[in-house]
Structure 1
Amino acid sequence: MRNAKQIFKSVFAAFFGVQSNSNREKDFTQGKLSHFIIAGVILTIAFIASLVLIVQLVLVNS
């Protein structure tokens, strides 16, 4: 079973396309799908929120 730090690290690597094949195989054999889905949703929301924040900062300063 993988812990939360390992799951977020794995999802983050996969999010940017730098996941190694051996780590991907470990994810499929040792992890639960629901944990990876939840981590993916959280990272997606954080990514979108950071983009919105950056755009707001640029618009305020221009």
Structure 2
Amino acid sequence: MNDGNHDEREVPPRGLTLWQTLQSVTASMFGVQSRRNRERDFTRGKASHFIIIGLLAVIAFVLVLVAIVQLLLRHAGM
């Protein structure tokens, strides 16, 4: 008999994909993270993933800046 209670098992939320984590870290670095994504990050994301991706993003950012400065200095003849 169907008494209106379906056997709908609650599906546990999946973790974030690498791409979603990278997008969230990038958006947060620029300060433009949406409320919906921020809530998703706090409910489905793992802090360790955000820390690792964040550190890698900061290191990549610094290396790009160093490369640009060296290129400009070389071009200026210094």
TM-score normalised by structure 2 residue count: 0.78
Unpaired segments ≥5 residues, structure 2:
1-14
CA RMSD of aligned residues (A): 0.5
Higher RCO, 1 vs 2 (CA within 8 Å, ≥6 residues apart) = 1
For residues 1-62 of structure 1, what are the structure 2 equivalents within 5 Å?
A: 1-62=15-76
Q: Matched residues, percent identical?
A: 53
Deviations 1:2-57 (A, max 9, x none): 01011001100101111011111110000000000000000000000000000000
TM-score normalised by structure 1 residue count: 0.97
Q: How many corresponding residue pairs? A: 62
| CA radius of gyration, larger in | 2
